[in-house]
Homo-oligomer: A and B are copies of this chain.
Amino acid sequence: MATGRTHRPATRSRGIPEATVARLPLYLRALTALSERSVPTVSSEELAAAAGVNSAKLRKDFSYLGSYGTRGVGYDVEYLVYQISRELGLTQDWPVVIVGIGNLGAALANYGGFASRGFRVAALIDADPAMAGKPVAGIPVQHSDELEKIISDNGVSIGVIATPAGAAQPVCDRLVAAGVTSILNFAPTVLSVPDGVDVRKVDLSIELQILAFHEQRKAGEESEADAALPPVGAHGAGSAAAAAEATGSGVSAQAPAAVPTDAGATTAAPAAAGAGSGTGAAAAASAGAGRKGPDGDVPAVMPA
Q: How far apart sit A8 and B255, CA to CA, in the bound complex (Å)?
A: 10
Q: Which of A96-104, A123-131, A138-146 contacts B (4 or more CB under 8 A)?
A: A96-104
Q: How far apart sit A49 and B195, CA to CA, in the bound complex (Å)?
A: 16
Residues of B within 8 A of A176 (CB): 235-236
Quick check: B118 and A212 within 8 Å, CB to CB?
yes
Residues of B within 8 A of A299 (CB): 81-82, 85-86, 90-91
Residues of B within 8 A of A51 (CB): 190, 264, 269
Query: Which residues between 260 and 278 of chain A lie within 8 Å of chain B, taking CB atoms?
Result: 260-273, 276-277
Quick check: B279 and A38 within 8 Å, CB to CB?
yes
Q: How far apart sit A10 and B252, CA to CA, in the bound complex (Å)?
A: 9
Nearest chain-B residue to A164 (Cβ)? B112
Please, how many residues of chain A have a CB less than 8 angstroms from a CB on the other chain? 185
19 interchain pairs, CB-CB under 8 A: A1-B250, A2-B248, A12-B221, A22-B206, A22-B260, A32-B303, A37-B276, A38-B283, A49-B271, A49-B272, A77-B287, A79-B298, A82-B235, A89-B216, A92-B230, A118-B301, A180-B236, A196-B236, A244-B271
17 new A-B contacts at CB < 8 Å, known A26-B262, A38-B286, A78-B286: A2-B249, A11-B253, A29-B188, A39-B276, A46-B273, A79-B287, A81-B299, A90-B301, A102-B107, A118-B212, A177-B236, A181-B215, A195-B243, A196-B252, A200-B259, A202-B207, A258-B263
Quick check: B205 and A182 within 8 Å, CB to CB?
no
Residues of B within 8 A of A103 (CB): 103, 106-107, 110-111
Residues of B within 8 A of A32 (CB): 301, 303
Given contacts A104-B107, A260-B22, contact A13 B254 (CB under 8 A): yes
Quick check: A25 and B195 within 8 Å, CB to CB?
no
Given contacts A1-B249, A35-B287, A254-B12, contact A236 B179 (CB under 8 A): yes
